[in-house]
Each structure stands twice: as C-alpha cells, then as structure tokens.
Amino acid sequence: MSTPTKAPREAVIEVRGLCNRFGSQSVHENLDLDVYKGEILGVVGGSGTGKSVLLRSIVGLRRPTEGEVRVFGKDLLSLHEAERSLIERRFGVLFQKGALFSSLTVTENIALPLIEHAGLSRPDAEHLACVKLALAGLPLSAADKYPSSLSGGMVKRAALARALALDPDILFLDEPTAGLDPIGAAAFDQLILTLRDALGLSVFLVTHDLDTLYTITDRVAVLSQKRVLVAAPIAEVEDFDDPWIHEYFHGPRGRAAYEAATQRKEQ
C-alpha cells in the first residue's frame, strides 16, 4: 500500500446528498462521497447495493433523482455539450461488462478516442493503441480480433486499454479483476499503482477482490444501507462497527488476503 499524499487534499469528485430511485425502489439515500486527487479509492458493497449506479451517476450517465455530483468542481449535467466533452475526455471508464464496440477490432476500439480526441493520424493511433494493449497485458495476436472472439478476461484488458487511451485524470473501474486469472489480477493491480504514481491518476475502483483492496487502495468506501457507511483507509474500515463490514473483512477470505498483503509488505 502506498501512503496517500499528506498535503491539503483536493477533491476531484464530490458527491453530496445523492438519491437514486428506480420507481419505488430506492438505491441511494443522501449519499456523500469524496474522491481525492491522486488516490485510489476502493468501493465495496454487496451485490446490488448500487455501486455501478453510483459510478454511472458520477460520470454523468445517469441523472440523480436528487443531490449533486461535482467533478473537478463542476456539475456535469448542467454544463454545455462542449464543456462537458472536455471534462469527459479526462475520464477513463472501464464498464463492468467491458462495453467494447463490437463492430470494431480491439485496436480500433482503442484507437478511436486517440483519433477523435488526441487528433492523431490513424497509423499513429493504431500504433499507440498496440502499446496500450501491451501495457494492459494483451498479446498482440488479439489486436486484430473482434470483441466477440475474446475471452472474458481479455475483454477486461482490452477495455482497460481503451480506458487508458487518453491517459485520463480519473479512472473509473467497475470490477476490473473479476474474470482475470490471479497472476493477471496481480499484474493489473501493479499496473494501476504504477500509472497512479506516474500520472497522478485518481482511481475510483469498484471491486470485490480483497487482495486488490489490501494491495493498492488508499481508502475504502463501503456502500451499505443506501449510503456510504464509512470511507477511510482499510485498517480503519476493518474495525468499523458494522456486522456486514466485519463479516466482509474478518471472514476467511478477508483474513487470507490481509495476511498475504502483510507478508508481501514485509518482504
């Protein structure tokens, strides 16, 4: 785990009083959350507690029923198209199911934002796309394949490569290591950490992977009872007085991940 910067922390994402309802079902009630510049924030919660909905609200894909979401100090939904697009370019989003464009090859998927936003020529963009692919750990043989012929883990990697295409300021990852082999997942963690350190990324990381939580997150936010129950460094979250959190971190898997992480640090 890396130490978070101690300087006065600048929030890149501020969520205030967020409510999300689908008909009579309420998913979030008065949810508050900050994501600080340069931190890796892990977001955990049981299945169906609204982690993906929270992510969609932050990136402006979903208008919250109530409440406010400010990214870089601006409310995305109240901006004009052009301004909004400028901010959205600073996002990299990895969707839970990858959301690769099925009519484009993997390389074209990654080259698309490079051509559209960075103004690269097609050959340059495809060249750089191959670099991103290599970074995300995809073999080059996958470069010219269509998403439908990739395995689940490869889709995740290709989607990560696309999310990283523009070297974004904020990276949103929705369960990125689900479906990856453990070696791949560990490499994934290291990659995120390296990129964060080098590029000063802020990372909003939805995950169920306890190893990832222990290895790379600076803070962990627990979504439960329709709000963020606690958002703090993992050591504090572990000791939070809530049965679900206790079960989560002190269950057999939680302990194993904790021990593995401490061992790794001692080496």
Partner 1 sequence: MEPTTITAMAGDAQLDTSSNPARLKISGQWTLVNYARLKLLTEQLAGKYDARTQIDLDDVSRLDTAGASLLVELLGSERVAQLADSATKLPAADRALLQTVYSSMRDFCVPVKAVEVNLGIQLLSRIGCSVDKLWQDTLQLLGFIGVILQTLARNFFRPKQWRITPVVAQIEQIGLNAAPIVALLTFMVGAVVAFLGATVLSNFGAGIYTVDLVAFSFLREFGVLLTAILMAGRTASSFTAQIGSMKANEEIDAIRTLGLDPMDLLVLPRVLALLIALPLLTFLAMMAGILGGAVVCVVSIGISPDMFISMLHSDIGVKNFLVGMVKAPFFAFLIAAVGCLEGFKVSGSAESVGAHTTSSVVQSIFIVILLDAVAALFFMEMGW
Ligand X SMILES: Nc1ncnc2c1ncn2[C@@H]1O[C@H](COP(=O)(O)OP(=O)(O)O)[C@@H](O)[C@H]1O
Instruction: List interacting residues with partner 1 (CB under 8 A).
Output: 102-103, 107, 114, 118-121, 124, 127-128, 130-132, 134-135, 137, 140, 143-144, 146-149, 164, 166-167, 190-191, 194-195, 197-199
**Cβ(50)–Cβ(226) under 8 Å?**
yes
Task: Give the orientation angle of helix 122-135 with respect to helix 106-116, to 10 degrees.
Answer: 120
Site for ligand X contains 57 (CB under 6 A):
no
- Closer to partner 1 by CB, 140 or 256: give it: 140
Site for ligand X contains 53 (CB under 6 A):
yes
H or E stretch at 255: helix 252-266
Site for ligand X contains 45 (CB under 6 A):
yes
- Closer to ligand X by CB, 4 or 179: give it: 179
The correct pick among 8, 48, 243, 252 for binding ligand X (CB under 6 A) is 48
Number of residues that bind ligand X (CB under 6 A): 10
Calculate the CA 226 to chain-centre distance.
20
- Within 10 Å of residue 240's Cβ, how many Cβ atoms? 15
CB of 212 to ligand X, least distance (A): 16
- Closer to partner 1 by CB, 191 or 230: give it: 191
The correct pick among 20, 52, 109, 217 for binding Mg ion (CB under 5 A) is 52
Partner in contact with 164, chosen from ligand X, partner 1, Mg ion, none, beta carbon below 5 to 8 Å by kind: partner 1
Among residues 91, 173, 107, 176, the alpha carbon closest in space to that of 140 is found at 107
* 170-174/91-94 β-pairing: parallel
How far apart (Å, rounded) are the C-alpha atoms in residues 117 and 36? 25
Q: DSSP of 232-247, one letter per residue?
A: E-HHHHHT-S-HHHHH
What residues make contact with ligand X under the rule CB under 6 A? 22, 27, 45, 47-53
